[in-house]
Chains A and B, each alone.
Chain A
Amino acid sequence: GNSVTQMEGPVTLSEEAFLTINCTYTATGYPSLFWYVQYPGEGLQLLLKATKADDKGSNKGFEATYRKETTSFHLEKGSVQVSDSAVYFCALRGRDDKIIFGKGTRLHILP
């Protein structure tokens, strides 16, 4: 079946550092790919998405590119802020429309 693997956390960075959170997937066909974020004390919300190969999703300075050749959807941000501290989840929506998530990566940004 389909699966999502993302890097283990926690990830701790200083403010203004470059961020990469790796995500790879296994799926049949062409899934849609998502990053969701859960800020402290809040519910899960969509951060960005990409629905076909080579699409780039972007939001709030974060970007991720749908790479079919490497089955990856890595999340990047050029300069992180303390307010980016949260748990980030990579997810895919398969042909059967079932949406599955990775285990989440906790990000701590130090001032």
Chain B
Amino acid sequence: GAGVSQSPSNKVTEKGKDVELRCDPISGHTALYWYRQSLGQGLEFLIYFQGNSAPDKSGLPSDRFSAERTGGSVSTLTIQRTQQEDSAVYLCASSLNREVGGELFFGEGSRLTVL
């Protein structure tokens, strides 16, 4: 499709397990962002990729969180040794550069529940 695609849409896991969340951005979008949306907490910035530059990882909450973007397209967010506080909706978004408008196009999100 033409939009940002995320998978899985829902993931239930046990505490201590690793999870991988995938994001397929809009074709041609150079920037890719991951956010976490928790009840009452708004949208928390996690990580940002722009082209071939080093990612801005300043929002990752701990070293259990990591992300990569292969070939400047698909991105995977990995959470190791999940904890109950990791339960949230993880949103991916992509955009063109600022000069073209710079707004974000969001996926539907991956809802993670850690039991």
Contact = CB atoms under 8 A, between A and B. Distances in A.
Contacts, number: 59
A45 B45 contact: no
Interface residues of B, number: 26
A44 B106 contact: yes
Contacts of A97: 31, 48, 50, 97-98, 102
A89 B107 contact: no
A101 B35 contact: yes
A45 B109 CA distance: 13
Contacts of A103: 40-42
Given A89-B43, A96-B56, A100-B45, A34 B109 contact: no
B33 A99 contact: yes
Contacts of A89: 42-43
A43 B104 contact: no
Given A32-B98, A36-B104, A46-B105, 10 more contacts: A43-B109, A44-B91, A89-B43, A91-B43, A93-B98, A97-B31, A97-B102, A99-B104, A101-B42, A101-B43
Interface of B: 31, 33, 35, 40-43, 45, 48, 50, 56, 58, 91, 93, 95, 97-98, 101-109
